[in-house]
Structure 1
Amino acid sequence: MYKILCTMPRISCLAGHHSTPGVLYSMFSATSQVTANVELSVEPISCLHDEPVRIRVFGLSPGEDVTLQAFMEDYKGVGFISYAHYRANSCGMVDAATMESLGGHFKGIFPMGLIGSLLPAHTEQKFTRFFKKDPQNPNVVKVTAYKGHLGKEALCSTDVGEPLATITHLRHYVAPGVQRIPVHYKKVRGCLFLPPGDGPFPGVIDLFGSAGGLLEYRSAQLASRGFASLALAFFAYDDLPEYLEELNISYFEEAVEFLLKHDKVVKPHVGSIGVSKGGDLVLSLATFIPEVKAAVCINGSCANTQSSLHLHDRTIPGLDFDISKVKIDDDGVLDMYEAWEDPLDYPETLIPIEKADAHFLFLVGCEDRNGKSETYADQATERLRKAGRKNYEVHRYTHAGHLIEPPYSPSCYASYHKVIRMSVLWGGEPMFHQMAQVHAWNSTLAFLHKHLSFPKGKL
């Protein structure tokens, strides 16, 4: 355990509490007036990003009100904060793992609420999604305890006053020994993350959505959990096409080829994981590329969406949306939920997953406002069921939104979409969304290990 500002003995009822000496973080000048017997601890002080921590405050007066705040910046320097109100127990302690928050960004017992409820600090940036551009550097989270129950306005003010205690916590995306290797193979552009050791490791193709570019943080985390993961861009990156107008299955075949040629990747199969547009792409990869034997579809459609997908012998058109059904709220945020056409009305766009020799995991946020993900999962699994297939799992998450990320990523209700150039509604309630992310991540790791660690026969 690492603690700060411990210059006086604790009150007697904490005498049985032991700690391991660590770095002392002092954020104030020598003249700062700080409550000397108050200690703030985060255990562990440094961990992988998908791991929980325990946040506690010691040395308070029994029944004393305290505000806990977390602060973190994104790669652009945008500040994200969360805060919660607690009341010390009879021993003068607050334990976020077991005690209820009385107010702030959440109420009730939410052990990782301070990390999972981080939101943009300033109103003009409230539709900013937290992106991790450089997963080799950890997120730096400053946790602070203030006297009393303070609101956002007070906490963001320069007159907030001195805190009772503060500590810096590090959240890492890469485990020690994970390798990051930029990829330029034929037309393939991306970044390969390899776990430490000789391997071989199960291989995974990692895809995101219609914002384009290259996001590496999920692959970094997959590598930290034992997978050789290729973060794959498919437009708006390097020399790839700028816009998502059309895609060719051959591009993804080259990505699979690259992965399987690597001496640290288990042969002869790989898996795939994708969210949003990446969700329908992984269904296509598992259907049309024989080496792809496992697909994790996160809030994706059962149809090919937005852009045409060229196969070797035909083209699957992209399912479109009806712009007249797009709703815009008072903040100028787009609600796409009713806008997408029903895939069953456009059968030519459907991905024939019932023909795939692969396994499927559908992760569904039941309050996804970007599309009818639960309906799409139902349509997909109904086709599999009618074909006599038992090669699928579905996990539905009540009150979870569209952007189901690895655990303890800040939940995002709405954010600016750089292609659409407007803010888009994603949906979800922070506490339930965070619980969904934990379960979805553990289910994903188990699913991929099950179907990729050893060669499988025909289904």
Structure 2
Amino acid sequence: MKVNIYNAESLVDDKIKVIVSGLIPNSKLRVSMKMEFPWCKGEEFSSYGVFYSNEKGEVDLDSIEPVEGTYKTTDCMGLIYSLKKSKTEGENFAENISIDKPIIMNMIFESDIERKEVKLKRLFKTEDIITKDISDEFIGKLFYKQNSSNKTILVLGGSDGNLDALELMAAPLASRGFNVLAVAYFALEGLPSKLEEVPLEYFEKIFKWISEDEITNTKEIFVHGTSKGGELALLLASRYKQIKKVVVSQPHAYCFQALDGQMNGKDTSSWSYKGKPLPYIKVDNNIFFEDQKKDIEKGIPFGFASTYKKSIERADNKEEARIKVENSEADILMISGKEDNIWNSYDGCVEIIEKLKRNNYQYNVELLTYDKMGHPLPIPYIVPLSETLSMNMAGGIFSSGGTVKGNAKGQFESWKRTIEFYKEPLSIDIKK
């Protein structure tokens, strides 16, 4: 048996390709995978697939569907995106995240007569990445190369406020030649303790720093925002003309009520300016509890999407709370799953597109949608989808939406497009 693995050592978001040859024709081959996060030993994830070799005694994992396994598709990456927890010591892998060590994945190949084991080394960053912690005027971390481009991407996370988790995305992005600045905007010392009335003036300090720092040194800023960070990214772009490119993953069209945990928040805006809360859509918790009860009784997963949708429909200040994206001067890429169950992001994206068309928006706008995608992380192949897709809660199942296969497809394709989008010239420069 001969095992050929392409990209056996590569960045975490790269695809691998596996071809096994030298097998007995039409014989069975079992391929299994085991993985632990380097910062969280003891939490093991595993997956497998069973295949039959062709007449030449070969198995190409990208051209054959497993007859049995944890996934059902002709995609070698199925072994990675279908990983499920197989051993646990009760640790939380979302804590103490570190990108300094690679993820090691053990692949085991077993035929009727032979067994081989191969290690995959999945790197978060290339060796030439330099990091710089910032804690004076704002809290963040810059990832860059000595000879990187002059393109700087500001990365904004969602409602969890976890700056370490942003590094999982910032480091691979920087490895493609960008300067990437991941910033926290609440839940750390010196910042608002909760996601409520976060002052937009804080980001003015960040923009000034980006324009003056010897590494970034640019007045044209790119932004990436995920979920609640997508709401923020669009809000900033609508107010600050130095933002020239925006990628938002599962964003919305409105400013919403402050968040403190799951659907519990002070009756005020998530954002403020000059000491005043910005107009916002109030999120009615009663809708959530009513819909949750109905879904549990029906035996179907519940989420927050219906709560947001109905809260918007009931609001009498929609136009006031709407993010005026048409005031932006940026190229915009929006990414949304039609089965997003955290909030109705797809509806929000469609509304943004319609408003921009009505206002004859002169910059490039692109909307990527995926039928079976919910509300996954923007970057693929790191956190197993089984861990983020659903969980037991309040006597039922909470789901972020979509299927494992659908989320994996949306993650990979939209992340690939994100990198391409940031590399492309600005549309205004092309028109000149």
**TM surpasses 0.5:** yes
Q: CA deviation at 1:133?
A: 1.9
Conserved 8 A contact 1:404-1:437:
yes
Q: CA deviation at 1:128?
A: 7.6
> What are the Cα deviations for residues 89-112 of structure 1, in whole angstroms up to 9, with x where unaligned?
223322212222122121131121
Q: CA deviation at 1:456?
A: 5.1
In the alignment, residue 99 of structure 2 is paired with which amino acid?
A: P
| Bigger mean CA offset, 95-104 vs 406-415 | 406-415
Give the Cα–Cα distance (whole angstroms) in 1 for the partners of residues 348 and 139 of structure 2: 29
Give the Cα–Cα distance (whole angstroms) in 2 for the partners of residues 458 and 315 of structure 1: 38
Q: 1:301 to 1:241 in 2, by over 3 A?
A: same
Of 129, 133, 142 in structure 2, the residue corresponding to residue 192 of structure 1 is 142
In the alignment, what sits opposite 1:98?
63
In the alignment, what sits opposite 1:67?
30
Of 277, 298, 306 in structure 2, the residue corresponding to residue 315 of structure 1 is 277
Q: In the alignment, does 2:15 pair up with 1:43?
A: no
Give the Cα–Cα distance (whole angstroms) in 1 for the partners of residues 329 and 136 of structure 2: 27
Q: 1:124 to 1:132 in 2, by over 3 A?
A: closer
Q: In the alignment, does 2:360 pair up with 1:396?
A: no
Give the Cα–Cα distance (whole angstroms) in 2 for the partners of residues 131 and 450 of structure 1: 35
Q: In the alignment, does 2:339 pair up with 1:367?
A: yes
In the alignment, residue 98 of structure 1 is paired with which amino acid?
A: S
> What are the Cα deviations for residues 337-374 of structure 1, in whole angstroms up to 9, with x where unaligned?
21114446332321111112222211111121111111
In the alignment, what sits opposite 1:411?
385
Q: CA deviation at 1:310?
A: 1.1
> What are the Cα deviations for residues 51-110 of structure 1, in whole angstroms up to 9, with x where unaligned?
211123334322222221111113323212221121122233222122221221211311
In the alignment, residue 213 of structure 1 is paired with which amino acid?
A: N
Q: 1:457 to 1:46 in 2, by over 3 A?
A: closer
> What are the Cα deviations for residues 135-184 of structure 1, in whole angstroms up to 9, with x where unaligned?
23211111112357xxxxxxxxxxxxx98211110011112211111111
Q: CA deviation at 1:442?
A: 2.2
In the alignment, residue 153 of structure 2 is paired with which amino acid?
A: V
Of 239, 242, 257 in structure 1, the residue corresponding to residue 193 of structure 2 is 242
Conserved 8 A contact 1:202-1:266:
no
In the alignment, what sits opposite 2:169?
218
The 3-state SS of whatever aligns with 1:185 is coil
> What are the Cα deviations for residues 286-310 of structure 1, in whole angstroms up to 9, with x where unaligned?
1122211221111111111232211
Aligned residue pairs, count: 403
In the alignment, residue 133 of structure 1 is paired with which amino acid?
A: I
Q: In the alignment, does 2:151 pair up with 1:202?
A: yes
Q: Give the alignment of 1:425-444 within 5 angstroms.
A: 425-444=399-418
Give the Cα–Cα distance (whole angstroms) in 1 for the partners of residues 170 and 360 of structure 2: 33
Give the Cα–Cα distance (whole angstroms) in 2 for the partners of residues 273 and 208 of structure 1: 8
Q: CA deviation at 1:245?
A: 2.1
The 3-state SS of whatever aligns with 2:151 is strand
In the alignment, what sits opposite 1:335?
303
Give the Cα–Cα distance (whole angstroms) in 2 for the partners of residues 80 and 99 of structure 1: 23
Conserved 8 A contact 1:305-1:320:
yes
Conserved 8 A contact 1:336-1:425:
no
| Bigger mean CA offset, 270-279 vs 51-60 | 51-60
Q: In the alignment, does 2:347 pair up with 1:353?
A: no
Q: TM-score scaled to structure 1, two decimals? A: 0.79
Give the Cα–Cα distance (whole angstroms) in 1 for the partners of residues 57 and 431 of structure 2: 61
Q: TM-score scaled to structure 2, two decimals? A: 0.84
In the alignment, what sits opposite 1:277?
228
Q: 1:358 to 1:131 in 2, by over 3 A?
A: farther
Conserved 8 A contact 1:128-1:415:
no
In the alignment, what sits opposite 1:25?
none
Q: 1:451 to 1:403 in 2, by over 3 A?
A: farther
Give the Cα–Cα distance (whole angstroms) in 2 for the partners of residues 120 and 287 of structure 1: 42
In the alignment, residue 157 of structure 2 is paired with which amino acid?
A: F
Q: CA deviation at 1:263?
A: 2.2
Conserved 8 A contact 1:343-1:350:
no
Q: 1:265 to 1:322 in 2, by over 3 A?
A: same
Q: CA deviation at 1:437?
A: 1.9
In the alignment, residue 323 of structure 2 is paired with which amino acid?
A: I
The 3-state SS of whatever aligns with 1:271 is strand
Q: Which has the larger radius of gyration?
A: 1
Q: 1:207 to 1:117 in 2, by over 3 A?
A: same
Q: 1:227 to 1:390 in 2, by over 3 A?
A: same
Conserved 8 A contact 1:260-1:266:
yes
Q: CA deviation at 1:217?
A: 1.4
Conserved 8 A contact 1:294-1:451:
no
Identity %: 25
In proportion to residue count, which structure has more helix?
2
Give the Cα–Cα distance (whole angstroms) in 2 for the partners of residues 132 and 163 of structure 1: 39
In the alignment, residue 347 of structure 2 is paired with which amino acid?
A: T
Q: CA deviation at 1:321?
A: 2.6
Q: CA deviation at 1:240?
A: 2.6
Give the Cα–Cα distance (whole angstroms) in 2 for the partners of residues 428 and 132 of structure 1: 28
The 3-state SS of whatever aligns with 2:422 is helix
Conserved 8 A contact 2:40-2:93:
no
Q: CA deviation at 1:404?
A: 4.1
Specify every segment of 5 or more residues in structure 1 that has no aligned partner in the other structure, as ranges. Answer: 1-37, 149-161
Give the Cα–Cα distance (whole angstroms) in 1 for the partners of residues 227 and 397 of structure 2: 16
In the alignment, residue 356 of structure 1 is paired with which amino acid?
A: S
Q: CA deviation at 1:234?
A: 1.3
In the alignment, what sits opposite 1:267?
218
The 3-state SS of whatever aligns with 2:155 is strand
> What are the Cα deviations for residues 298-328 of structure 1, in whole angstroms up to 9, with x where unaligned?
1111111232211238531443433233326
Q: 1:99 to 1:203 in 2, by over 3 A?
A: same
